Amino acid sequence: HAITMGVGTILDARRIVLLAWGESKAAVVAAAVEAPPSDALPASFLQGHPQVRFLLDEAAALEVERSRLTVDLCRSREWEGR
């Protein structure tokens, strides 16, 4: 099963939190946060939302140079299954 949601529906949310982990996400996260909004990268439209927060690990944040958006770094943690 899958749930799909359009950008317009996402942008209608009161608050948005984007989670990204891993170095493979670094370039796209930086573009979403810093590049001008573009249809080629729908996540870039999050820049215009008044209540958006990006939660990233250090690897995903490697290419973010500056941002006027809320970008929080999360430390890696080993989880124990219980």
What tokens appear for 38 in the block?
A: 């573009």
How much is the pLDDT for 44?
Answer: 94
> What is this structure's pTM?
0.76
pLDDT along the chain (82 residues), means of 10: 83 93 94 93 93 90 79 70 60
pLDDT at 46 (0 to 100): 93
What pLDDT score was predicted for residue 68?
67
pLDDT value for 77: 62
Cα dihedral 42, 31, 19, 43, rounded to 10, equals -10
* Strand pairing report for 52-57 and 70-74: parallel
